[in-house]
Amino acid sequence: MNLHRQDFHAWTRQQADLMKSGRLGELDTVNLIDEIEDMGASRERELESRLGVLLAHLLKWRYQPDHRTRSWRLTIAEQRRRIARLLARNPSLKPLLLQALADAYGDAVLVAARETDLDESTFPAACPFALENIMEDGWTE
């Protein structure tokens, strides 16, 4: 079994040391390629996750106006800031934004339904929010 599977931390240190010393021919290129691709995919997953949290709170805000809290408002603001930073640091994610939004919406419905005790059918089948509004500071409806 190779070091990549036995001790990931040690493997990363080994790979870094090999690169630093210029011993590129000794690199575990197959696993390095997989890990680099996974790092990029993790940014996509983070975008989708943050959009899901944001959308769930926007749904709760819209469908339970009598239960609005400062915490919900602050979570909405926080996720907007974190998404904006993620996109600023990874501009190549911007073309994926609409698909990530569509993918995150289904999860957001489940979260909103669980946290509000409203039936899932209460919420629209497709995201009712425009992307521009979702990311607009202060916008909640």
**Whole-structure pTM value:** 0.85
Is residue 95 predicted with pLDDT exceeding 90?
yes
Q: Are 59 and 109 in contact (CB under 8 A)?
A: yes
Which parts of 21-69 fold into alpha helices (H)? 29-63
For 26-82, the pLDDT digits (tens) are 999 999 999 999 998 999 999 999 999 999 999 999 999 999 999 999 999 999 999
Q: Is 52 left (phi over 0), alpha (psi -120 to 50) or beta?
A: alpha
138 has a pLDDT exceeding 90: no
Percent of the residues in the chain that have a pLDDT greater than 70, as a whole number: 99
3-state SS, residue 110 = helix
Q: Are 44 and 100 in contact (CB under 8 A)?
A: yes
